[in-house]
Amino acid sequence: MEVADVTTFLADITPFNQLNDAALGQLAGQINVYYYQAQDRVNINTDRLMMVRTGIFTLYSDQQQLLTKLQSGDFYGYQHLLTGLSDNDSLICEEDGLVYWLAADAFHQCRYQYKNVDIFFQRLFSRRLHQYREQQQSSRFTLKISDIVQQRKIAIRPEQTVQAAAKQMSDSRVSSLLVEEHDTLVGIVTDRDLRNRVLAQGLPASTQVGQIMTRQPQHIDRHAYLYEAVQQMSQHNIHHLPVMEQNLCCGMLTATDIMRSQQDHPVYLIGEIHRQTSVDGLERCSQQIPTLAITLSKQQVPAHEAGHIITTITDALTQRLIYLAQQQLGAAPCVFSWLAFGSQARMDQSLNADQDNALLLEKEPTGAVGEYFIALADIVCKGLDQCGIILCPGNIMATNVELRLSLKGWSGRFARWIATPTPEALLKASIFFDMRVIDGSKGLFNALQEDILQRTTEAPLFLYHLAQAALQRTAPLGFFKNFILEPDGKHRQGLDLKKRGISLITDLVRVYALSAGIYEINTRRRLQQLTIQGVLDNKDSQNLNDAFDLLAQLRWEKHQHDLQQGHDVTNMLDPMEISGLARHQLKDGFAVINSAQSSLKHRFCRDM
Amino acid sequence: MFSWLLGKNTALSKHVDTFSKTSVAPASTPVQQAYFLVLDLELTGLNPRKDHIVSIGWVPIRHQEIVLSDARHYLINSPVSVGQSAVYHGLHDHQLKSSNDLADILTELLSQYAGYVFVAHHSRLDEQFLRIACQRCFGKTPRFKFIDTMQMEWQRLLRQGKVVKHDALKLPSCLKRHGLPDMTNHHALEDAYSSALLLLSQLKLGGNSMTLGDLYLLSR
């Protein structure tokens, strides 16, 4: 016999909200109800599942440390039921409340009968925030170099003859050879080189490979994504890429390898971009981005990989625009680096990102040099805007005279931020500390990055203010684990997944990265490095990574939803529109941010 | 001598005897150890001599836990039309046709819950109806031990020196005062469940040393 009050409540909470009426009624009929008064201690060493109906219960560790507060819809006892191990925790009623007890038999029966219920409690037990989704097959859209490249290294020494090279190529049936000296890659030689540089030039068969090889060839990391290789090959018009793993060469990736692995890859878009000869052509390419995004989403490509792909496309558009601008304006009067900031730099760009870019110049931007780069920036920024990557409302663009500086200019500017930080200045400046070179000279950029990191690692006052800036906003979680919704101009109340979620993690990870002098820009890679260097402990870093993935995933799905509905893409999420489990995980994610923020405060804002 | 007059009731009346003979725990028993049966009746009217029971719902409390697996709700065949009372309990004649004989339900109640302290909100009414129903069905009236959550609430409020208004003792008001979910809707089982929640809260407020005897006193 079921009591409607109990059934209604169960129907409302995760994971039981997925059961049908009959199953709910059956479950409700197996429950015992107990009333706790404040100060009561809950006997938790029973073989039953505890569900909080009303009231607040506080969980303490055996050291009397407050672990968590349980409230309506929360569970306890599943740990013991799942593992048979009991904790030494104690659970004290803080505010009078009702508790539903479910006997072990009924719990296990429900778990066996409904897979999602089982998954829910397993997940709750491991306190992990991973997505609630079947493990997916590795998608061909996110193949990595390591997935397709053969573990076969065919190399030759530079002092060997071209004839030996030709023989080795024909014996191994390959079109190219790695050239190595003392296990270090010094060049590559392809069948085209033998034709163009040896036969056509009338050189003898005894010519040494070292004389005709391509020195210091473009190469790619074994763990890079395949589309990055496509990107690199298209950009430089090459067909062979040595594959590196930790500075050691481990094989060769050819264009044919890629063709074979994915005939109809939508990221061939990148190849197409590099073939365009006009801004209009690039605009046509960029119109395929939303379709591509939907395809990626249908393939269940995780959000961080999708962000990576979208960033790579923006990079390609930028590179091609710079190329087209140079076609128009002539070669640059000096070496330069085209820089990207913010999400493009971090490689987690979303569909509604705007431009954040700048120019780093070898010479001072005066006279003809200045004129040239004004024109170049104008073509590139307007071109990007035409391709749907809108002009930056905050004017963080290479068209801004303050953002076209020489190495000295940039270095001085960063030095000021770091040496005499003011809170207001840092709020605006923090975006500049996520910086990546998109085109032009890597060396110039490396010099700047080295200069910056050297300063930030020894600047406690700067880190203090940067941490303060990162703590300005908090996760939208109330004291009782309720969501704090905020109104948005156009939209109904919701959670801003970027401002009150993703950005908070990005911001606090940046503080740690700058304090430790870490070169990585991508938030996930920064976390990895921070763990490797022992700045963050493994668990904290993993939790932040999970929370970051979860938020990015929810935002990615929200954007997909907006796209498919034909709405403007926004970051505002109505928590009622996601599943109860996702809500639960979102709360956990926000709780992770809260605790990471308090650690950050503890570490950087203590002695000031 | 007159057993033929009682007819079939002889066999049934032994349930009443067994029930009456099974002693309820002594008055000195701490409330934590007592067994309670919280029940609620929906009626055709308020006069026990003229009106009838249309439905009955109950939930047992053992060791201060409401045991929902033993919760029951029965519709009762009424010898007369439910008439205007349908406005309150929402049960109409056609629903009651396929329902249970009062004697069967009373038999289940008496045989399963001998030794339990019975509980109701405004228990006097429920007790009178049950006694008369047993008299009609079995020719005998069992000795019920009833406590009254409404009466206990009244005593509690008086002790706090509060002025008790007329509406303050109705079940929904009591639930609200105790911060309990209010789902009352004149459905016998829902109301019995709500009264059970109220009793659990009242027992907690009474403190650890409370005995059954204290409850009897408070229910008077």
Judged by a CB distance cut-off of 8 A, whether residue A200 touches chain B is no
pLDDT tens-digit map of A228-276: 888 788 778 888 999 998 888 888 998 877 776 654 455 678 888 888 8
Nearest to A34 among B59, B64, B71 (CB): B64
Looking at the structure, tell me whether residues A249 and A354 fall in a common domain: no
pLDDT at A476 over 90: no
Could you say which residues from 40 to 59 on chain A have a Cβ atom under 8 Å away from some Cβ of chain B? Answer: 40, 53-54
Pick from A274, A3, A327, A266: nearest CA to A142:
A266
Distance from CA of B117 to the nearest CA of A (A): 18
Looking at the structure, tell me whether residues A196 and A328 fall in a common domain: no
* Interchain contact, B180 vs A54, CB within 8 Å: yes
Cα–Cα–Cα angle for A229, A231, A237, nearest 5°?
A: 95
Report CA-CA distances (Å) from B108 to A40, B22, B69, B104.
36, 15, 15, 6
Report the DSSP pairing between strands A220-221 and A240-245.
parallel
User: Could you give the CA distance from residue A255 to residue A250 in angstroms, rounded to a whole number?
Assistant: 17
**Contact at 8 Å (CB) between A521 and A344?**
no
* Interchain contact, B200 vs A2, CB within 8 Å: no
* Interchain contact, B65 vs A96, CB within 8 Å: no
Can you give the pLDDT at residue B80? 60
The percentage of residues in chain A with a pLDDT greater than 70, rounded to a whole number, is 92
A115 within domain boundaries: yes
Q: What phi-psi label fits residue B42: left (phi over 0), alpha (psi between -120 and 50 degrees) or beta?
A: beta
Can you give the pLDDT at residue A299? 67
Q: What is the mean pLDDT of chain A?
A: 85
Can you give the pLDDT at residue A132? 30
* Interchain contact, B66 vs A1, CB within 8 Å: no
Tell me the count of A-B CB pairs closer than 8 A.
67
Looking at the structure, tell me whether residues A10 and A97 fall in a common domain: yes
A400 within domain boundaries: yes
Distance from CA of A81 to the nearest CA of B (A): 20
Can you give the pLDDT at residue B65? 94
Looking at the structure, tell me whether residues A156 and A69 fall in a common domain: no
Alpha helices in chain B (DSSP H): 3-6, 9-21, 86-89, 93-97, 102-112, 123-138, 149-159, 171-177, 188-205, 212-219
Tokens read off for B211: 């005995």
* Interchain contact, A5 vs B181, CB within 8 Å: yes
**Number of domains composing chain A:** 4
Q: How does DSSP classify residue A216? A: S
Can you give the pLDDT at residue A116? 84
A283 within domain boundaries: no
Looking at the structure, tell me whether residues A88 and A154 fall in a common domain: no
Q: How does DSSP classify residue A223? A: T
Nearest to B68 among A8, A29, A53 (CB): A29
Distance from CA of B51 to the nearest CA of A (A): 27
pLDDT tens-digit map of A403-426: 999 999 999 999 988 888 887 778
**A248 beta partners:** A245
Residue of higher predicted confidence among A485 and A41: A41
pLDDT tens-digit map of A567-581: 788 888 887 777 777
User: Could you give the CA distance from residue A540 to residue A542 in angstroms, rounded to a whole number?
Assistant: 5
* Interchain contact, A1 vs B189, CB within 8 Å: yes
Q: For the residues A103-118, what does the mean pLDDT come to?
A: 89
The residues of B whose Cβ lies within 8 A of any Cβ of A are 59, 64-69, 71-73, 179-181, 183, 187, 189-190, 193-194, 196-197, 200-201, 203-205
Which residue segment(s) compose the domain that A518 sits in?
A: 457-604
Can you give the pLDDT at residue B71? 94
Q: For the residues A504-520, what does the mean pLDDT come to?
A: 93
Judged by a CB distance cut-off of 8 A, whether residue A278 touches chain B is no
Distance from CA of A9 to the nearest CA of B (A): 10
**Contact at 8 Å (CB) between A432 and A414?**
yes
Looking at the structure, tell me whether residues A166 and A225 fall in a common domain: yes
A462 within domain boundaries: yes
**C-alpha torsion A359→A360→A364→A367, nearest 10:** -30
Euclidean distance between the first and final Cα of chain A, in Å?
Answer: 64
Q: Indicate the range of A65-74, A444-453, B30-39 predicted with least confidence.
A: A65-74
Tokens read off for A287: 């119109």
pLDDT tens-digit map of B72-105: 999 988 666 555 666 666 666 666 566 788 888 9
Domain ranges of chain B: 13-219
**Contact at 8 Å (CB) between B203 and B29?**
no
Tokens read off for A524: 């996930």
Query: Domain B13-219: what homologous superfamily?
Result: Ribonuclease H-like superfamily/Ribonuclease H (3.30.420.10)
Exposure class string for B87-124: b at 16+ Cβ within 10 A, else e: eebebeeeebeebeebbebbbbbbeebbebbbbbbbbe
ipTM at complex level: 0.86
| Sequence-separated contacts (24+) of A406-409 with Cβ below 8 Å | A406/A360, A406/A361, A406/A362, A406/A363, A406/A364, A406/A365, A407/A360, A407/A361, A407/A362, A407/A444, A407/A447, A407/A448, A408/A364, A409/A364, A409/A365
pLDDT at A349 over 50: yes
Nearest to A35 among B59, B68, B201 (CB): B201
DSSP A280-313: HHHHHHHTTHHHHHHHHHHTT--HHHHHHHHHHH
Model confidence band, residue A136 (pLDDT cutoffs 50, 70, 90): very low
Q: Please tell me whether residue B107 adopts helix, strand or coil conformation.
A: helix
Can you give the pLDDT at residue B82? 56
**Contact at 8 Å (CB) between A604 and A461?**
no
Looking at the structure, tell me whether residues A437 and A519 fall in a common domain: no
A135 within domain boundaries: no
Cβ count within 10 A of residue B161: 6
Q: By CA distance, what is A38's nearest residue in B?
A: B204
Q: By CA distance, what is B72's nearest residue in A?
A: A1
Cβ count within 10 A of residue A101: 21
The percentage of residues in chain A with a pLDDT greater than 90, rounded to a whole number, is 38
Residue that is written with structure tokens 């440390």 in the block: A65
Report CA-CA distances (Å) from A247 to A38, A147, A186, A233, A308.
63, 19, 12, 20, 23
A36 within domain boundaries: yes
Judged by a CB distance cut-off of 8 A, whether residue A39 touches chain B is no
